[in-house]
Structure 1
């Protein structure tokens, strides 16, 4: 097993290094074609190396946030370089074959790639830092005490830390409170791994401004596990008035049950039927589960509304084609039997602050409760308003 892990890492390192070499080589020949003063090859190589491995350097023992930030942007550069450079190389080759001098062919195709990168980063940054509110309206055919309706504000995958910072957090507070929700729900990945940047920037003082009569609740996402500081994170959330549910079910206002699962990353999380054993199935059951990996299981166990995140809807196109294959629902609304499922593309981002084919969002859900069971209610409800 250990040998396989080492071999797998070695193969990955070799392939990754070859891809980095390919990108670096393209940059080198374009600079030459542009007539720019050439850096010494060792210095140019060192710059490319730092770019390519800065994310790992930022997570080393002596952490420096600047490397994490550079590395995050590098992921965006890497993805779109691998999408743009092969057709650019082909176009350059065709132009040279038609008689255009090689220096001009390389310069103009390279300039086109730079223009494409500029457009991607400007548009992607706007989508990442300009969240929208998406509205859903559903009906749960169960009595909820004396409550006839419930307004939920939901935001997932904030990834608060170095790049999803205090300004983006203030956007969350403003938009979530502006919905005037009865309850605010945060289905995981509230922070980006390590809670240290969140604490250092005193973001807890801002997030505590989230306000709803029935409270603010959250669950753990995979990134809270990656940070290996869950107790510290939970304490920080407690100080901010946010209750993190870890395989827990609470009754809210004698009207409905709210369940919060540990993330699927936790191999020891409770089975869903055991978790919901204390919930009265005659009352509405709303559940947060960070990853939409067990939608069918939730439907079979009497959950009425399942709220998830995690997928980011791929975050950067065309990654949404991958998430669409990985999950039964990777974004939006799905009716599964009598259960409503809503998966958010997330409020923040992982890696680069870029979104293409997705948008940072907050979810507003208007829930209507029926006085009596209505088994034949509209199967098409739940569409975005």
Structure 2
């Protein structure tokens, strides 16, 4: 059998090319406005960091300290993109919280050391002060380029005490332990750090660790508060869905055993100045020792 398909012709009097062009132009304008609105929203989320407050009760005594107000800061990524004016803005925001203690969880510097040197960013960072100090662990970006130069600059010039697989006892009341990032050439297990530093586990222990993987290491070691960054909470949709799948905690608070865990989405970012579906933040931890 032979089948014939008859193609229906559009009468010339019904085809209106001008109307078709108008529809295409309207659709293009709609897409352009939609993309602009999304990017504008993402830029707003980056440029207007929020203050996330969390209340934590630790079931240990901390000497004469009954309570503690900690400002936790992650992933600042200082450099050409996050420049000195952002450093000033972030320092002002941190100091406005009137912290007893300021803790960074790594990635303070984005890439090379030149941008922070050229802009003299230490002038801003040295305005950070708290009665119980300013401390940080290393992040993977500290190890991207010129690692030792950057860490020395942060420690000696910017006034941030860098804890590299080491512990410090604060006011004979509690410990801060800073973990080296996984990028570090020689990184110690947490149990080894606690043993070598002679940490008294009867006192509260706060651990700073950049990458929130293997949370059980902190839990099994009897850590009371474990603070992390690194994830940026994916920074922009749909990456936030991916980080939720990769990490046990990609953002926010969780109590696991007796360990209080918090992962911050961070202040800065990598790449474009947009956070779509996420938010730049600092975290205020209101800690009570009981």
> Which position in structure 1 is the counterpart of 2:177?
259
Aligned partner of residue 268 in structure 1, secondary structure = coil
> Which position in structure 1 is the counterpart of 2:4?
none
The structure 1 segments of at least 4 consecutive aligned residues displaced by more than 4 Å after TM superposition are 99-106
- Aligned pair partner of 1:233 in 143, 150, 175: 150
> Which position in structure 2 is the counterpart of 1:95?
none
Deviations 1:178-235 (A, max 9, x none): 1111110010110111121111111111111011011101111111111x21221122
> Which position in structure 2 is the counterpart of 1:348?
268
Offset at residue 104 of structure 1 (A): 4.4
Check conservation: 2:234, 2:242, Cα contact below 8 A: yes
Structure 2 unaligned segments of length 5 or more: list them. 1-14
Check conservation: 2:142, 2:151, Cα contact below 8 A: no
Counterparts of 2:283 and 2:89, CA distance in 1:
14
Offset at residue 106 of structure 1 (A): 4.2
Do structure 1's residue 204 and structure 2's residue 118 form an aligned pair?
A: no
Counterparts of 2:188 and 2:42, CA distance in 1:
38
Counterparts of 1:109 and 1:190, CA distance in 2:
43
> Which position in structure 1 is the counterpart of 2:99?
181
> Which position in structure 1 is the counterpart of 2:88?
170
Structure 2 matches for 1:1-385, cutoff 5 A? 101=17, 103-226=21-144, 228-237=145-154, 238-266=156-184, 268-277=186-195, 278-370=198-290
Counterparts of 1:332 and 1:121, CA distance in 2:
24
Aligned partner of residue 280 in structure 1, secondary structure = coil
User: With structure 2 as the length reference, what TM-score do the two structures score?
Assistant: 0.90
Aligned partner of residue 269 in structure 2, secondary structure = coil
Counterparts of 1:257 and 1:302, CA distance in 2:
12
RMSD: 1.4
Counterparts of 2:214 and 2:23, CA distance in 1:
52
User: With structure 1 as the length reference, what TM-score do the two structures score?
Assistant: 0.68
Counterparts of 1:172 and 1:154, CA distance in 2:
12
**Larger fraction in strand:** 2
Counterparts of 1:108 and 1:304, CA distance in 2:
58
Structure 1 unaligned segments of length 5 or more: list them. 1-98, 371-385
Deviations 1:134-186 (A, max 9, x none): 10010111111111111101110001111111222112111111111111001
Q: Which has the higher contact order (CA 8 A, sep 6+)?
A: 2
**CA 1:204–1:112 in 2, change beyond 3 Å: closer, same or farther?**
same
Counterparts of 1:353 and 1:211, CA distance in 2:
28
